[in-house]
Amino acid sequence: MERRHVDIFTDGSCIQGPRNKKFIDGAGGWAAVLYYGNESLNLYGGEYKTTNNRMELTAAIKALEALQESCDVTLMSDSEYVLIGITHVEGWKERDWVNKRGCPVSNRDLWEQLLPLLKKHVVHTKWIRGHSGIPGNEICDSLASTMSKRIMQEHM
């Protein structure tokens, strides 16, 4: 049986809150736009006390979780962190979540959530330049930014 092809754009955003020595995380938003044929689906959300990298990863996780069957996916992002991480996550797991430099992998909890989704789907990654007029990326950027602002306002 041939898999359906889905194009996915993802993005994350984080607004830094008041800075002090103990708190450097901010209000974050994530977004994904899924395209299948002529149909599209926008997903978005946010968290407080998070980072941009966590929001970028969350967007990819939520997008892949939304697919109800195994699909052939082109995952497009302006986040090198996510795209490069996808190519290394199996190795990190094999090395007990330590990178090649011997340091613990950041955001391990999210990489562990992403790993089975990468096995369920055939995922091809594509880096795209942010803010370059690509509609799917622009929609994601706007949704993620809006969510991070909304989360920040809720906690002021």
Q: Which residues are catalytic?
A: 11-12, 56, 78, 131, 141
Q: Quote the CA–CA distance of 11 and 131 in Å, as a whole number.
A: 11
* Strand boundaries in 67-121, DSSP class E: 71-77
List beta partners, residue 104. 98
CB-based contacts of 133: which residues, under 8 Å, 6+ apart? Answer: none
